[in-house]
Structure 1
Amino acid sequence: MSGARHGRGGAPGTRFVEARPRRWAPGTLLRVSLRDNGIELGVTPDGSRLHHPLLLPNQPTRVGIVGLADLTQVLALRLLDASCGLTVLTGEPDRWRELLGRVQGATFEVVSQVSQWPPDGSTAPWALIADSDQPPPPGFGRSPWSAVVHAPNQMPQGSAWWQSAQYLITGPEQAPSVLNLRPRLAQDVVAGLQPGQLISVEPNTATVFTPSLTSTEERFLRGADVGPGGR
């Protein structure tokens, strides 16, 4: 593993997130429970909250996010808030510098390459976010209590990894390509997308939603847009 930078201690300045301690490990009594309804993504047109259970005790989870850098970082914040150890695999570490410096008390690293994941000796739950063009190796993310997120700018064509992902999330521009991976779903949902709305595609359903941001997340995204390396 190279380029590792740990979020312990952080950089001077405002802390956007202070992760809760992880109080359990495999083989020990479960002392805390992750949210039963999963990680919140946003609000559907009927006002319901959209949650996805990304950290499961009996299987890994794969998530594809296309062309949504801000949503990917918000998801990173929420995984850390769920006491999840997070590894970001990226060729552009400056994209993650702000988040890395503002998170306290979490197992969080940004790396340029990794040969094995989850890391030996680490404690579940785990999440890996990769923003490279190609998805992570298929051997990554075979452990229960793990989530692997691939977040490229464009969806890779002919990818078995994407075919097997439980959740595919994107905006209007990439939605037709994503829906092509689920031919049983109607394509007309794309035509109805309003400005600011995204779509989450599962094997048998597609859900339109508007991302919901806390005040902490809004402050983070505003700060990430300022200065060198900002988006």
Structure 2
Amino acid sequence: MSKTISKQNFITHSESQMGFNILKPSPLPSTKTLLYTKPTFPKLASVLQSIPNSFTKTRFKFSSPKPTARSISAAGFAVSIYQTKRQFCGGGVIAMAAPGSVQKSEEEWRAVLSPEQFRILRQKDTEHPGTGEYDKLFEEGVYKCAGCGTPLYRSTTKFNSGCGWPAFYEGLPGAINRTPDPDGRRIEITCTACGGHLGHVFKGEGFPTPTNERHCVNSISLKFAPADSSV
């Protein structure tokens, strides 16, 4: 007696022989947040970001690149330090000289200074009160050392003290040295760069200034540079 093959078994056998596989849909993956590495190509990143969140349930976050470390050479560091000592006055740049940067012998100073300048700047003498050309000058500008040209005072710090010499309530930062006299009654002020004698500083005299100080300076020790001048 011949075997009867059911239609269902025939279909299954035929599908197996022909290599057919019936695929069943698998459930969608969970909606957990995925770790994502920033793509190399910008276009791919824009495409991924354009996919609606309701479809993928995943948010992509791009971190900013880490800052790049920069190395500064010793020479560059020295330049940056020097630039911090440059100051502005009326739109111009005031370059500060380094302490003791101007060194000359007595003969060299005599060759570049007038006899009166040498007597006051190098021998620490004092001009007669009321005789200096800058006592009553109140123009805008900068007062420099007459010996080496280092900027010392801004005109905005000058005031009329009535003492007969130019008076300032403060000097430019780092431009002036202070040394007490041997008797302790006064404090001598000199140019930081060349050591030229400027005068003396007095405290607590009651002048209406921010520092309550009076820098009493010889006019002969100064050279005035107007604000509109490149001198």
After TM superposition, the score normalised by the length of structure 1 is 0.27
Q: Larger Rg: 1 or 2? A: 2
Flag the structure with higher helix content. 2
